[in-house]
Structure 1
Amino acid sequence: MRIYTRFFISLLSLAGPPAAAHHNSDPWSLNLYFENDLFAESDQNYTNGIRASWVSPDLSSYETDPRIPKWLRQVNDKLHFFHDLRDRKKLSRNLVFSAGQLIYTPADIEARELVKDERPYAGFLYTGIEYHTRSRDQLDTVGVTFGIVGPGAYAREAQDFIHDLRGFDKFQGWDNQLRNEPALQISYEHKHRLFDKPLGRGLAHDLIGHSGINLGNVAAYLNVGVEYRIGWRLPDDFGTSAVRPGGDNSAPGRIDPRLSSSGFSGLHGFISLDTRIVGRDIFLDGNTFKNSHSVDKEVLVADISTGVSFTAGHWKVSYARVFRTREFKKQPHSHNYGSLSVSYSW
C-alpha cells in the first residue's frame, strides 16, 4: 500500500495541478459508470455495477522518469507491437485509477435457504490501475485489479441500503453468498478503429474492434467484439465505456470536440457486441479455495448493446441497453440491464 500511495503522489507531482499544468489537448478525465437491471424492470443475475475511474493526462514525456515504477516503464516498452514504427513517437500514454463494486443475486428474492439451481449471491469490491498506450486509431490497455469477493465486499449492505431508500423488498438469501476471497486480476485489451468515414454535414460513422484476455481467480476469459457508431461529430475516443476490465475508453483524444467546444458538440447512436470464451467465473463456479455454492456455467457468453451518446462542453454521457445471453446451464432466459456512463474531461 505504501508503494501504491507513493506512486500516486509521484504521479500527481509529475502531472502538476490540473488547472495550470496542461492544455485542453492534454486532458484529465473523470468517468462514472452505473449498470443496473432495474432499467429493464428486473432484479436478478448481474443486478448492479458501479465504477469510478480517473484518467491522467498524457505521461509520454515521463516515459523514462525514475519516479514511474520500473515495471510499468517495462510494460510500456512492450505495448508498441500493434503500432506502426512510424507512429511510435506520436503515441500518448495515460494511467487509469479505478474503484468499483459488482453485485449478483439469484431470481428468487424470498428464499432464505440455498437455491441450488440458481446462481450464487455474490459481491465484488475492487480497485485497480491500468496503463493506456494510444495512437489515433489504436488503444492498448493493460491492467491489474485487486479486491475481495464475499461479505467483505459489502454487497448485501449496499443492496439493502438502495432497497430501503426506494421502498423495495429485500433479498432474503444473502447468508448463502460466496465466502470471503481475495482477488487478483490481470487484463489486456486491444482496440482498433477499423474505419472512420465522413458522411457530410458533420455526420460520420466508424467501426471499432476489440479483443482481449483476462486472467485471475475471479474471471478467466478471452473476449472479442466490435462497436459501430454513427452520428454528428463523433468523439475522438474508442467507443462506449463499460464496467469490464479494459472498458475505460472514453477519455478524449487531442482532436475531440469536447476539448474545443463549450456547448452541445455531438450526438451519435451505437450498437456493440462483446463475445467471451469463459474459462472461469467465480460468480458461477464458486470460491476458488473453499467449498461454496456453484452452477454449471456456459462457456460462450455474448453481450449486445444498443444506445445513444452525446457530448456537451467537456461532458460525454452515454446510455445503453445491454442484452446478455444465458450465463449458466439452467438459467431460464437471457438477461438485460441498463448501462449509464458519464465522463468529464478538463
Structure 2
Amino acid sequence: MAWMRRVFFACGIAAAAALPAAAQQSAAAEPSPALSLIFENDVFFNEDRDYTNGIELTYTTRPSQNVDAMVSLARALPLFADHGLVRTSYSLGQSIFTPKHTELAVPLPTERPYAGYLYATLGLIEANPDRLDQLSVQIGVVGPMALAKESQDWVHSIIDDTKPKGWHYQLHNEPAFNVTYDRSMKLIPPQSLLGLVLDVEPHFGGAVGTVYDYANAGAMVRLGFNLPDDFGPPRIEPNLPGTSYFEPNGGFSLYAFAGVDGRAVARNIFLDGNTWRDSPSVDKYWAVGDLTLGAAMTLSGVRVAFTHVFRTREYKTQDKSSQFGAVNVSFRL
C-alpha cells in the first residue's frame, strides 16, 4: 500500500539521522526527560490546502524536575489520579491554514480563510500503568503576528513552488487562549497475540478557549513487538492524544497503530473567524472525525513515528475530506 511505503520511508530517514544521538543514550534509574519534534504537512500527499502545515517542539521533564507546585496541582485536580508519575511539558508551535485555490489574489468566500497560529503551551502530565491524564494551557496569537505568511513563503521559495497570493485576507491579529484535557486508558494492556504484542487505548477529552471548543472521544490500537512504555506518538491538537516521552523496554521496538477520534465542535476560530472583529469565515460542521494509520519504532533513546491522518470535511462548502502526514522524532535526554 502506498501509505505504508511512505510510513517506512519517512521512519527510515528520520531514524538514520537520529542514530548517532541514540548511541550516546544511557539507561537511567529514573524516567528520562524527552525532546520531541512534530512536523505535520499535506505535502506528503501532494496537497496544499486546509490544514497545510504544523510544527511543534516539546520538552518534557523527568518526574524529579517538576516544580513542586505542578505536582501539588496534579494531586488536587479532580480529573487526575491521586498518585502516578507527574511530568511537565513546554511547547512552542505554529499552525498554518489556507484555502484550496491559493493562486487567487482574492480568496473565494466558500473556501477556508487564510490563518496562522503561533503558540506556547504549558502541559501537566500524570501517568499510571493503565491511565494517562494530560492538561495543557496554551497562549498565542492568531493573525499576521503568527508569521504564517512568512513561514509559508520561505518554504515555498526553498522548494521553488508558487507562493500563495491571498494572505492579505487572513484572519486579523487576536490573542489566543485555550485549555485542553485528555485522558487515555489501557483498556487492553499489552498482551501477546500471534507472537506480537497488542494493546487498546480508548481516550476522551475536550478543549475550551478562544481557539477551539470541542469534546472528543476515540481509541487507538497498537500491534508490534517490544512496545515502549507510552501511549503512542504525539500529534498536534486537535488529534489523537499521545506522549512526547517514552520508556523503552530494551532493544529495538517496532509497531503499527490505527486510531479514530470524533469531535463535537462548538468553535473553531480558523473556520468561524475572529472573535471580536469581522473576518472571513465559513459554515462549519459540528461533527468532525479523524482516522489515523501509522507506524513507530524505537532504538535506544530515539523514537521515530509517521502518521497518516484522514480528516472528514470540516465545513459545508469543503469539496472533499482532507489528509496530511505527521512525522515525530522524540529523544530521551
Answering whether residue 331 of structure 2 is matched by residue 329 of structure 1, we say: no
Shift of 1:76: 1.2
Residue 165 of structure 1 pairs with residue 165 of structure 2: no
Q: Which amino acid aligns with 2:48?
A: D
How big is each residue's C-alpha offset from its partner over 1:74-122, in whole Å with a ceiling of 9 and x where there is no partner? Answer: 5312346564x7xx3xx10000000000000000021111310001000
| TM superposition score normalised by structure 2 | 0.88
Structure 1 residues 250 and 205, CA gap change in structure 2 (3 angstroms)? farther
Equivalent-residue separation in structure 1 for 2:241 and 2:92 (angstroms):
13
The answer on 1:77 being equivalent to 2:71 is no
Asked if 1 retains the 8 angstrom alpha-carbon contact of 2:88 and 2:122, the reply is yes
Q: Does 1:115 align with 2:120?
A: no
CA–CA distance in structure 2, aligned partners of residues 166 and 114 of structure 1: 23
Measured in 1, the distance between the counterparts of 2:174 and 2:80 equals 36
2:37 matched to which residue of 1? Answer: 32
- Aligned residue number for residue 59 of structure 2: 54
Separation in 2, partners of 1:292, 1:203: 52
SS where residue 42 of structure 1 aligns?
A: coil
Number of paired residues? 309
Q: Which has the larger radius of gyration?
A: 1
Segments of 5+ residues of structure 1 without an aligned counterpart are: 1-18
The corresponding residue for 2:68 is: 68
Q: Measure, in 1, the Cα distance between the counterparts of 2:306 and 2:176.
A: 29
Give unmatched runs, 5+ long, in structure 2. 1-23
Whether contact under 8 Å (1:196, 1:204) holds in the other structure is no
Post-superposition CA distance 1:18-77 (Å, at most 9, x none): x9xx935320100000000000110000000000000000139x6xxxx634xx455312
**Match for residue 252 of structure 1?**
246
User: Over aligned residues, Cα RMSD in angstroms?
Assistant: 2.2
Which residue matches 2:9?
none
Note if 1:301 corresponds to 2:294: no
Quote how far apart the aligned CAs of 1:310 are.
Answer: 0.7
For residue 13 of structure 1, what is the aligned residue in structure 2?
none
Pick aligned residue for 1:238 from 219, 231, 241:
231
- Offset of 1:202 from its aligned partner? 6.2
Q: Which amino acid aligns with 1:188?
A: Y
Query: By how many angstroms is 1:196 displaced?
Result: 2.1
Distance 1:114 1:334 in 2: 20
TM-fit CA distance, 1:222:
0.5
Q: How does 1:1-346 map to 2 (within 5 A)?
A: 23-59=28-64, 68-69=68-69, 72-79=70-77, 83=81, 88=83, 91-199=84-192, 203-244=196-237, 247-253=241-247, 256-257=248-249, 260-261=250-251, 265-346=252-333
Q: 1:222 to 1:325 in 2, by over 3 A?
A: same
Which string of whole-angstrom CA distances, capped at 9 and with x for unpartnered residues, describes residues 195-227 of structure 1? 124326862000011111101001110011110
Task: Render the CA deviation track for 1:251-298: whole Å, top value 9, x for unaligned.
Answer: 124xx32xx44xxx1111110111110000000000001110000001
Q: CA offset at residue 235 of structure 1?
A: 1.2
Show the counterpart of 1:3. none
